[in-house]
Structure 1
Amino acid sequence: MESRVMALRRALHFVFKVGDRSRTAEFYRDVLGMKVLRHEEFEEGCKATCNGPYDGKWSKTMVGFGPEDDHFVAELTYNYGVGEYRRGNDFLGLTLQSSQAVSNARRLGWPLKQVGEGLYLVEAPGGYPFYLLDQKQPQNDPVCKLSLAVSDLQRSVHFWSSLLGMTVLERDEGRTTVLMEFGGGQCKLELQGISGPVDHGAAFGRIAFSCPREQLPEIEDLMKKENQKILTPLVSLDTPGKATVEVVILTDPDGHEICFVGDEAFRQLSVMDPTGNDLLDKAMAEDRSDEWFAKHNKQKVSA
């Protein structure tokens, strides 16, 4: 894969399905110290299954340490009426460098476990693991790497490197891990080999990358040629009042979902909304679903 292609692709975000939106907002805003970059409400499911296989009302909240142009962020999708999602063993953690986040967790009484020298484990609502490096938060993006489980490391490295064009940075045969990236300064991807199959549960996430729009058909054609699975063929996605983006969504050999989006339109779509934080708070205040379920002595659906 040409280095020119790698330089033009960049890591954007990881999609988390959340069942408790208020508690989740507290974690990302107050513990990690991220900002709400934009928030959107939708009346019906996404045709690219951004919110999973659900057709009802849902919301999307982008949170991060800075603009999506140069920061790796989290996309939090909330399906009204779904209270929790069964986690699998697919997502192994997001690592970020922030002594402030460590301090925040201690101050707020958020469970914090030391797992190494200056390294702490904290869990987001839903059981998603985050690793905090107890070091001064850098001026650029504090998010260091995303870790995913794979069942056959050699096969996965071939897919991510030879087919998608990521550069292998480090190999640790003892821990059966490989670290790779598209370009310097971006969030890195760590693949960790596990014994047994990868289970995505019902909380399966999705990693997103951008590339020049002209590369989207090329990516789709390559996947067809290599007999790789295409989850969503090239499609246009509309966000009311914002840019229309084109995406193609793949899966790797272990079923990890991978979204490639046209960079030009995505940069317009992802401009930070100064009202995003207020929009999220308003949506949470108006969401009476917990009260309704409690009043009728029922529980939200467990996906």
Structure 2
Amino acid sequence: MNGAPFPRARLHTLYFLGHVADFAPVFLDTDVDMTRVLSHRAAARADGETYSTLTYILHTAARVVAAHPDANAAVHRGLFGHRVHSFTGASAKITLDKRLGGRRVVLSAVLPRLDTASLADIQRQVARYRDGDPETMPEFAPVRSLQRLPEPVGRAVFRLSRRSLGRREAMMGGFAVTSLGHRAVQGFHSVGGTTLTFGLGQVEERPVVRAGEITTAPLLRLNLAFDHRVVDGAEAADVLHEVKESLESLPPYATGTRATHAAPATEPAGHGATD
């Protein structure tokens, strides 16, 4: 049986998987009733704004993550033990289905300080990466450079670039959101190189019980992978629960306010997902 060289267009994925081998992931999941989100989305579209499901998740999760400083952090194992670095604000990494070097690949982009960004601001950032060409966008120049290096050199460069905790947020984000909701995937778990990684499946009508009667609701399976080295299960469960509650209690869209901030309707407990 003849082998073939590993595709250069996917070398960055190979290096990344080596990086996350040190993680100690634990997985949680919940169902989110997206009725209010879909209602908000429809009203916004009628007012000339189009928001993706991913944008709503990013907007909500960023505010929840920022309220959990112990989870909004990263750990690094050095020669003299582990060190933890806490982030300021909440920056998110998103994954992108792109073609690079003639091959279908997964790429990532970091969206900074989403905890203070409006839905419209986040959507503009998402759309820019969704529609951009990774062959020419300057943000993907490091990936293109890695592909040109011999594999041992590229692996070493990638590993060294991730050693600095101070630069980790700018390079990897404070948390990650990855989605496969464009296909018939109800949910999936992924380790995104961050302490918290949210995985999104499709929104679909499924049976629910309300007031003792069976009906249907548009449900999203929201998964969370967390690095147990940084945070324990109780706090990770709080984060997932608060994201769920905030999405399910999203205020109605205010017609005529196209840059609506759409802040969560409730305070997080214990504190004062590109379609």
Query: Could you say whether these structures have the same fold, taking a TM-score greater than 0.5 normalized by the shorter chain as the test?
Result: no
Q: Which has the higher strand share?
A: 1
Which TM bucket (shorter chain)?
under 0.3
Task: With a CA cutoff of 8 Å and minimum separation of 6, indicate the structure with the bigger relative contact order.
Answer: 2
User: Which structure dedicates a bigger proportion of its chain to helix?
Assistant: 2
TM-score (norm 2): 0.26
